[in-house]
């Protein structure tokens, strides 16, 4: 990924090529799929999600596979608005 050129100093105007380089760099940055990460492309952009079932199965396997995994719903604040997230962990945590 190319480095962005620094913003010209001492000039009142910035060349169009500088803006193109910024645009090109932004367009190069894409989220990467990986373990349990799913990228869904839509007309509004990319949506990054988690493959919960695969993650849960792997955690159960890592923790012994004998039902010791629990799902916990946590109350959180997202941009000043109440929200919830789901996390997985050992029972009794």
Residue 36 CA to residue 45 CA, distance in Å, equals: 20
Average pLDDT for the chain: 78
Instruction: Give Cβ neighbours of residue 81 (< 8 Å, ≥ 6 apart).
Output: none
- H-type alpha helices, the chain: 16-28, 52-62
φ/ψ (deg, to 5) at 54? -65, -40
Average of pLDDT values for 63-84? Answer: 81
| The pTM of the whole model exceeds 0.75 | no
> Who wins on pLDDT, 18 or 68?
18
| Res 75 pLDDT > 90 | yes
Residue 30 CA to residue 1 CA, distance in Å, equals: 11
Cα angle, residue 63 at apex, residues 66 and 50 outer, rounded to 5°: 105
Q: State the pLDDT at residue 84.
A: 92
């Amino acid at each position: 990924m190319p480095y962005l050129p620094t913003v010209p100093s001492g000039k009142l105007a910035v060349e169009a090529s500088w803006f193109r380089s910024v645009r090109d760099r932004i367009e190069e940055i894409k989220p990467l799929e990986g373990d349990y990460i799913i990228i869904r492309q839509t007309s509004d952009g990319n949506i990054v999600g988690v493959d919960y079932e695969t993650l849960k199965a792997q955690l159960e396997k890592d923790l012994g596979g004998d039902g010791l995994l629990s799902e916990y719903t946590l109350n959180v604040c997202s941009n000043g608005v109440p929200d919830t997230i789901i996390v997985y962990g050992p029972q009794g945590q």
